[in-house]
């Protein structure tokens, strides 16, 4: 078993996630013609590659206690997904530190990591293996996950490339929520299913909340944030502008967007 790092030892027990002064920058090569010939010509002339730096997350500090459900709202490009990828450990901090205490399960982009040539069932097994489950656990879970996804006749044994995006979403969501994670990260994960699956997803999320799992949800469906979360943050241009009760945060965000309480803003998922 992995021994705890110094940061983990320093972290108060009641915290699931601690984010300290986190900044994340992307470096983008802005050369329009990215050919090998161009690169060689540049290098021979001693020219540097032109880079643009995008600061997607700026000096963000946040504690997420165990058993809480955090919602993240904000405009397109605000840095929400970047923050989620950093918490998941996919993206290293440019500055600052993230400490996580518990097993993370993520649904950051639907079915990323699925092998399109394999069946839904085989992808579930792969997911289980990747998350470190034992053979017995996987056998047990595979049935449960397949049942939860409840795909139409026989689809669970067909290659996932033959799935509709909703079917894809169902399997991906089922995997993420049924791996009994301590911390569940969901980035717009509830948007793919139809009404009956949404209902089921919602109930499953409520169950996870009741089991005192920690959940972080990024969503443009503001009603979802109001319904499921106990705390929300509003991100804007990489900065956390506000943190508080979901209703208050959603309200502030809507005022900022200047759309008022349009029904579409609350429309579910």
Ligand X SMILES: Nc1ncnc2c1ncn2[C@@H]1O[C@H](COP(=O)(O)OP(=O)(O)OP(=O)(O)O)[C@@H](O)[C@H]1O
- Cβ(232)–Cβ(73) under 8 Å? yes
Q: Is 54 in the site for ligand X (CB under 6 A)?
A: yes
233 binds, among ligand X, Mg ion, none (CB under 5 to 8 A by kind): none
Between CA 144 and CA 85 the distance in angstroms is 27
Q: Is 181 in the site for ligand X (CB under 6 A)?
A: no
Binding-residue total with ligand X (CB under 6 A)? 12
Task: Decide the pairing of beta strands 231-236 and 183-187.
Answer: unpaired
53 binds, among ligand X, Mg ion, none (CB under 5 to 8 A by kind): none
Q: Which residues 6+ apart lie within 8 Å of 59 measured at CB?
A: 21, 22, 23, 95, 96, 239
Closest CA to 214 of 11, 53, 27, 68: 68
Cβ distance to Mg ion smaller for residue 78 or 98: 78
- Find tokens 């590659």 and name the residue: 49
DSSP label of 40 = H
78 binds, among Mg ion, ligand X, none (CB under 5 to 8 A by kind): ligand X
Q: Using the rule CB under 5 A, which residue among 81, 226, 236, 252 binds Mg ion?
A: 81
Cβ distance to ligand X smaller for residue 56 or 176: 56
Between CA 265 and CA 221 the distance in angstroms is 7
Q: Which stretch binds Mg ion (CB under 5 A): 34-42, 74-82, 133-141, 229-237?
A: 74-82
Between CA 216 and CA 55 the distance in angstroms is 22
Please give the structure tokens belonging to residue 111: 């079915």
> Least CB distance from residue 178 to ligand X, whole Å?
25
Cβ distance to ligand X smaller for residue 87 or 209: 87
> Least CB distance from residue 187 to Mg ion, whole Å?
6
Closest residue to Mg ion in the complex (CB) = 81
Cβ distance to ligand X smaller for residue 49 or 54: 54
Cβ distance to ligand X smaller for residue 87 or 177: 87
Cβ distance to ligand X smaller for residue 156 or 228: 228
35 binds, among Mg ion, ligand X, none (CB under 5 to 8 A by kind): none
Between CA 253 and CA 98 the distance in angstroms is 26
Cα angle: 67, vertex 186, 90; to 5 degrees: 100
Q: Is 56 in the site for ligand X (CB under 6 A)?
A: yes
DSSP label of 260 = T
- Coil/strand/helix, residue 233: strand
Residues from 82 through 121 that contact ligand X (CB under 6 A): 82
DSSP label of 2 = P
Site residues, Mg ion (CB under 5 A): 81
Site residues, ligand X (CB under 6 A): 26, 28, 54, 56, 74, 76-82
């Amino acid at each position: 078993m992995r021994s705890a790092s110094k940061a983990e030892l320093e972290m108060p027990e009641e915290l699931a996630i601690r984010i300290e002064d986190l900044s994340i920058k992307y470096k983008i090569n802005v050369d329009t013609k990215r050919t090998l010939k161009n690169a060689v010509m540049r290098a021979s002339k001693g020219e540097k590659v032109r880079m643009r730096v995008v600061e997607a997350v700026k000096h963000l500090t946040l504690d997420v206690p165990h058993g809480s459900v955090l919602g993240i709202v904000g405009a397109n490009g605000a840095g929400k997904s970047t923050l989620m990828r950093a918490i998941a450990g996919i993206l290293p901090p440019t500055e600052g530190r993230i400490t996580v205490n518990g097993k993370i399960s993520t649904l950051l982009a639907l079915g990323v990591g699925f092998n399109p040539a394999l069946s839904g069932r085989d992808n579930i097994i792969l997911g289980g293996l990747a998350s470190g489950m034992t053979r017995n656990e996987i056998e047990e879970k595979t049935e449960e996950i397949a049942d939860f996804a409840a795909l139409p006749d026989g689809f669970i044994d067909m290659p996932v490339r033959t799935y509709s995006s909703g079917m894809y979403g169902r399997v991906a969501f089922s995997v993420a929520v049924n791996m009994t994670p301590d911390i569940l990260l969901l980035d717009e994960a509830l948007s793919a299913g139809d009404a009956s699956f949404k209902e089921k997803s919602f109930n499953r999320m409520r169950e996870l909340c009741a089991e005192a799992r920690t959940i972080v949800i990024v969503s443009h469906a503001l009603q979802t944030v109001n319904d499921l979360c106990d705390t929300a943050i509003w991100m804007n241009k990489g900065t956390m502008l506000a943190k508080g009760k979901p209703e208050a945060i959603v309200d502030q965000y809507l005022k900022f967007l200047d759309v008022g309480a349009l029904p579409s803003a609350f429309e579910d998922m």
